[in-house]
Amino acid sequence: MAIEDDVLVIGGGLAGATAALAAADAAPDVRVRLVTYKQSTLRHASGLIDILGYAPDSPEEGPLVDPFDALSDLPEGHPYERVGSEAVREALAFFDDVAGDAYAGDHTDANALVPTHGGTVKPTARYPVSTADGLASDDRDALLVGFETLPDFEAPLAAAHLEAAGAPFSARGATIPFPGIVRDDAKVTRYAHLLDQDETVTTGAGETGAREALATTVAERLADESRVGFPAVLGDEHAAEVRADLADALGADVFEVPMGPPSLPGMRLEDLLYDALEDAGVRVTSGVPVIDYETATEADAVAADGGSGADRIDRVVVDRNGTEIPHCADQYVLATGGLVGKGVRSEREQVFEPIFDCHVPHAADRYDWFVDDVFGEQPYARFGLASDRDLRPLDAGDEPEFANLRAAGAVLGGYDFAAEKSGAGVSLATGYVAGTRAGEEADR
């Protein structure tokens, strides 16, 4: 028996979750389902929501102050050009409603500059409240604290990089032992859990709670800095409480520095979104790859679309532990990621989208997929689906592949999210537009 829904979203990252939430919000009576195969890529992300950090045609000019000023200058085919700047604003407002007080930055159009674990700063539009006191535009001096067992964050090096980059404050780094952890292979969740539960740890002064022990160790290194930055491991379920306790004990504001994967801010964002999906009544089916699809009969397609001429997806087939289960829906959203997430794949002779075999524009000669300059503009960075302004993937003749399929996030082409610092923003904006239109279509 086929499982039936009104909107089916394929992919569980930021784009997919946003699309499912937007569909449910646009049409509360429609049945929305999200299916995902692999663990969400959100846990590998920084948790920052970037809109546009650098202009694609002139990244050397430095971070953009106002990303919205640059949206109108983006080339044709860029995902932002497809949806329009007003939709980007609406998507950001939608995220603000979902995130509530967990994120900051909605008071301005300007990018914030958030220091990262390498000592660089990232221009971003929304950022977790845990990072708010660490903004590079703040001129208060800062002490950066690293842990001996967490080599991913070299606090003295990060502080030196910030100073060299011209940060308007004095930064100093210190590396200390983390109370209760002696192994350098401990997961970041172990640090968070220890602080969440305020577990008892043994120090040279005897037994005490982990938060007090950490604050005591840091206080010995603190000079006259008014804020202290830690790697982003300061709790999970009780992160705000952990930061508040440390701030009270130190007499200084406390902030987190976003880390590389696995990322606690990314995990917190994932939890936030999936809690919102549950509250919105979206059904989530995980651990099931989509392995096939079927199109509707010509008569059914004409009846549904009024003779548009485009094929129409009738159902997809998922593999649940070796059993093939069909899922039927009226509207579909593809949000499976790009080359990194395997939503777009490459072989020696072709680049392709593996589920619906949608057209991926690329040069016929594979040697034109890249340039020899490692730091040059790589053509493969822009690989992905071309779409119309309704975000329907286009075939080689610039016609919609399917009348009831939209695409969102990194599976779309026409932009280099790594160079532009636009990955989360594109996922958010296109997910919002694709989900909203899918929900509206399904509700007709």
At 204-262, the pLDDT tens digits run 778 999 999 999 999 999 999 999 999 999 999 999 999 999 999 999 999 999 988 88
Query: Is the pLDDT confidence value at 369 over 90?
Result: no
Percentage of residues in the chain with pLDDT exceeding 90? 75
Q: What is the pLDDT at residue 305?
A: 62
- In this structure, the number of other CB atoms found within 10 A of the CB of residue 101 comes to 7
Q: Are strands 313-320 and 253-257 parallel, antiparallel or unpaired?
A: unpaired
Q: Which H or E run includes 407?
A: strand 405-407
**Tokens 């106002």 sit on residue:** 66
Amino acid at 412: L
Question: pLDDT tens for residues 300-318?
Answer: 655 566 556 689 999 999 9
Three-state SS for 410?
A: helix
Q: What is the pLDDT at residue 70?
A: 93
Instruction: Tell me the two tokens of residue 187.
Output: 């997961």
The full set of domain ranges for the chain reads 3-101+267-442, 117-257
pLDDT higher at 292 or 184: 292
Query: Is the pLDDT confidence value at 57 over 90?
Result: no
Specify whether the CB–CB gap between 78 and 413 falls below 8 A. Answer: no
CA distances from 253 to 132, 133, 382 (A): 10, 7, 41
CATH of 3-101+267-442, one of 3.40.50.880, 3.50.50.60, 3.40.50.10600, 2.60.120.10: 3.50.50.60
Q: Do domains 3-101+267-442 and 117-257 have the same CATH topology?
A: no
* Mean local confidence (pLDDT), 416-425: 92
In 204-322 the beta strands, taken as DSSP E runs, fall at 206-209, 227-231, 253-257, 283-286, 290-295, 313-320
Distance CA 331, CA 408 (A): 14
User: Quick one: pLDDT band at residue 184, thresholds 50, 70, 90?
Assistant: confident
Q: What is the pLDDT at residue 373?
A: 67
Q: What is the pLDDT at residue 374?
A: 61
pLDDT higher at 168 or 184: 168
| Residues whose CB is less than 8 angstroms from the CB of residue 342 and which lie 6 or more positions away in sequence, other chains included | 336, 354
Q: What is the DSSP letter of 336?
A: -
Sign, CA dihedral 125-130-132-134, equals negative
Cis peptide before 262 (omega within 30 of 0): yes
DSSP string, 145-210: EEETT-TT--HHHHHHHHHHTT-SS-EEEEEEPPTT---TT--HHHHHHHHHTT-EEEETTEEEEH
* Mean local confidence (pLDDT), 372-392: 83
Percentage of residues in the chain with pLDDT exceeding 70? 96
Average pLDDT, the chain: 91
Question: pLDDT tens for residues 25-46?
Answer: 999 999 999 999 977 788 888 8
Question: pLDDT tens for residues 169-180?
Answer: 999 999 999 999
Q: What is the pLDDT at residue 202?
A: 86
Three-state SS for 394?
A: strand
- Of 62, 85, 63, 61, whose CA–CA distance to 73 is shortest? 85
CA distances from 192 to 23, 73, 131, 196, 268 (A): 34, 43, 16, 6, 12
Specify whether the CB–CB gap between 153 and 175 falls below 8 A. Answer: no
Q: Which architecture does CATH list for 117-257? A: 3-Layer(aba) Sandwich (3.40)
What is the reported pTM? 0.93
Q: What is the pLDDT at residue 297?
A: 67
Distance CA 194, CA 213 (A): 11
Query: Is the pLDDT confidence value at 83 over 90?
Result: yes
Question: pLDDT tens for residues 124-169?
Answer: 999 999 999 999 999 999 999 999 999 889 999 999 999 888 889 9
